[in-house]
Chains A and B, each alone.
Chain A
Amino acid sequence: MKKGLIRWNFLIPLGLVLVLILGYAFFFFDRHFRAELEAQLTEWNDSEVNIASLKTGWLTGSLELKGLEFSDPTAREWNRLEVGRLRLEFTWQGLLHRKWIIQDALASDIKVQVKRRFVAKAAKRERSPLSLMSMESSAHIQESSQFIERGTVQDPFQDLKWDATPSRAATQGLEAEIQAFTRSWQGRVEALPDTAFLMPGEAGIRRVKTGESQAGPDEQVARARLAEIKSSMEQLNEQSTQLLNRIQSLDDLVEQDALVLRQYLAVPSLDFKDLAMELSLPEAKRWLRFVESYYGYWREQLEAREQVQPYRFGRQQGSDFRFIKTSGDMPFFWVKNLQVTSTETAEGTLGTVSGKLSDLTSDPALVPDPTRFLVQGEFKQSQILGLVLDVSLDHRTATVDDRIALTLASFPVHGRMLTSSPSLTLGLYQAEGSMNLEFIRQGEQSNAHFRSNFERIVYRVESGTQRVKDVFDEILGPVQAIQIDADGQGTFPKLRWTFASNLADRMKEGLQQKLGQEVAELHAKLKDAVLVRIGDEKKRLSASLIEQLGPIRDQAAAKEAELAKVIAERSAEKQKGI
C-alpha cells in the first residue's frame, strides 16, 4: 500500500518523543547543565568550582543553584567563597531572542575561607602569562641561610673551579711558550759553530774547511765564531729573563682570579636588591591574582567578543558574527541586578554580607550604565572583618575605565610562608593582617597598588642548623609589624612591578651585618688561597724553564770552551813563531 506524505497516525511517535524530551528535561538536563557550568566556572576560577545542586525552572525561566563552592587557587584545600543559594531569573523576551538577560538575581548565605572536604583540582586551561603571576622570586634568604649552614659543616673552597681562572689560562700559555722557547733555542745552539769547521792543515796550520769562510787565518774565524756564540748566549739569557719575569707577573692576576672564583663560593650577594620582591611576592600574588586572573579573564572574553573569531577546523566550529542594532538591541548576556545578602548565624560560618551587582554584561556598549559591584561584609566566625569590594567596569566606549578596590580591615593569618628551603623555613606562624588593593585601568594605562600589613606576629623560623635559626631569630626580633607594598604600572596584563617592605629592609640590614664580616673573611681567605696557588705555579714554571735551559746552556758553554781553547792554542803558536 502506498503511503502518503503526511503521517496521520503521528500521535504515538509524537507522544514517544515528547516523553523522551520531558524525561531528559526533568531527569538529566539539570545534571548535565550543572557539569557544564562547573567546568566553565572552574576555568574562570583557575581552580575547581563545585555546585551541589542546580534546578532549572522551565516555566518561570529561572535557574537556582545551591552550594556553589569556589576553591582557592593558591590553597586548594580551602574554598575561597561559598554561596549557599543563587537564584537567577531570566526574561522571556531575552530567551526568545537567544539572549541571557537576568532581570533579578539573589545570592545569599555567603561564606569565605571554608575548609574543603577534598582538595580541589586545578583548571586545565592554560592562561596567558600574567606579569606578576609568572614572576620568579629571587633566593636571597635561601642563599644566606645555606651560606650560614655551610660555614659550619663544609670546606667553602671545595667547589671552586680553578680551571676557570685567568691565571690558569695564562699558566697554560706560559707552559706552551716555554716549550716553544726551549725547542727553538735547542735548535739554535745545535746550529752554533763548533771546532768542526777547523781541519788539520799542513805544517800544523789549520785551514778553513772548504765551504766555510775564506776570510783569513783560522784564529780570526774562531774568534768570530766565539763572538757569535757569546752573542747568542746573551740573547738566550735576556729572553729567558724576560720569560721568568712574565712568570713572576702571574701575581698580577690574583685579584682577577679571586673575582672569578667568588662566583663558585656560593656566597650570597650582599646587595640583596631583590629581597623586597622575594618577601612580598607570595603575599602580593595571593591578592593580586584577584585582579590579574579574574579581571583578566573577563577582559579577555569581552575583547574576544569584539572581534570575529578566526575559523577553527572541525565540525561545530565556524565563526560567530554579531549584528547589533545601534539602538534598542539587547546584549547577549546581561545581569541587570544581583542582590547579595547574607546574615551571620550563631552556629555557622556564614557572614554578614550585603551588596549589589548591576549591569554585568557581555556587550557593554548596549547597556546604559557601567558594571558596578559593591559588596560589604564581615565574617566574625572566620575573624574576617571590614571587607569592602568596590568594582566599576566601564567598557561602553573605546576608552576603558575600570576600577577595582578591595579592602580587608582585618583577617587572621595562620601558617603563611615567606620563604621555604631545605635550610630554612621562614614565615608567619600567626598574625593579624589587613590589606588594601587598588587597580585602575584607563585606556591602555593600568596602575595597581597593593598594601598588606601584619601585626601581632608570631614568626615561624625553622632550620636544621641552630646557627641559622639564631641568626634569623635575632634579625626578625625587632620587627613587630610587617608592611608590604607592591606597585604596578603599564599595559595590562604586562605591568612592571616594584616592591617595598620594612621586613626586607630589616632583613637586608641584619644579613649584611651578620654575613658581611664572614663574607669579607672568606674573600680574604680565597685571595690567600689564590696567592698560594699562583706561587706554586710560578715555582713550577720557573723550575721547568731553568731545567730545560740547563742542557742548552751546557752545550753552548762546551762549544764556547772548545773555541776558546783553539784560540788560545793558536795564540800560543803565533807567539812561538815570533
Chain B
Amino acid sequence: MARGSVYTSRSSFLQIVLALQWGTWLGLAPTLLSLQSLLLLLSLIFLNLPWLWLLGAAAASWAAASVFLDPYLHSLGSRLLESTRLAPLWTELFQWPVLPWARFNNSMVLGAFVLGCLALPLWIVLAWKLRRTH
C-alpha cells in the first residue's frame, strides 16, 4: 500500500496490528497442529480482523518461510532450546499441563513463534503510520 494512496479500510489500529501479527504467526508456523495455531484460528471467530491484512501477512510469511526462512527458524529455535540458561525454564514449562501441546520443544515451532513476536514492533509502526496518514 503506497504512501499517499487512499486507504479506505474501516479497521482500527489494533485490528490491523492483530491481523498482521496473527497472519505472521500462522504463516510462519510449520504446522497448524499445535496449540497456539489452533487458538489463533479459533480466536478468529471472536475477533473482527481485516481479512486482507491477515491473509496477506499469512501468505507472505508462509512464502518467505518456505523459500528461505525455514533454516533460520530452525537455527533460532535450536539456539533457544539448547541454551543452558534457559534449560530450567523449558524443563519447568514442559511439566505444565496443556502447554506441551504447543510443541515449543520443536526448533521450528519455537523459532517461528519467536520470530513472529519479533515482527510485532514492525507491524505496530506500519499500522500506526497507516492510521495517522488516513
Contact = CB atoms under 8 A, between A and B. Distances in A.
Interface of A: 1-7, 10, 13-14, 17, 93, 96-99, 311, 313-325, 329
B47 A321 contact: no
A357 to B, nearest CB: 26
A319 B78 CA distance: 8
B45 A7 contact: yes
B74 A2 contact: no
Contact of B42 (A4, A17, A98): A17
Nearest to A318: B108
B98 A314 contact: no
A7 B47 contact: yes
Contacts of A17: 42, 45
Contact of A318 (B42, B66, B82, B106): B106
B109 to A, nearest CB: 7
> 7 closest A-B pairs (Cβ-Cβ)?
A318-B108, A98-B100, A96-B97, A323-B91, A318-B107, A321-B81, A3-B48
A315 B46 contact: no
Contacts of A14: 45-46
B48 A6 contact: yes
Given A316-B108, A318-B30, 11 more contacts: A7-B47, A10-B45, A13-B45, A17-B42, A93-B97, A97-B95, A98-B103, A311-B107, A323-B90, A323-B91, A324-B91
A311 B101 CA distance: 21
Contacts of A13: 45
Given A5-B12, A315-B30, A323 B94 contact: yes
B10 A2 contact: yes
Secondary structure type dominating chain A contacts: loop
Contacts of A322: 105
A96 B78 CA distance: 25
Which of B73, B82, B91 has the most chain A CB within a 10 Å cutoff? Answer: B91
B87 interface: yes
A315 B48 contact: no
B71 interface: yes
Interface in B65-114: 65-66, 70-71, 73-74, 77-78, 81-82, 87, 90-91, 93-95, 97-98, 100-101, 103, 105-109, 111
A316 to B, nearest CB: 5
B48 A5 contact: yes
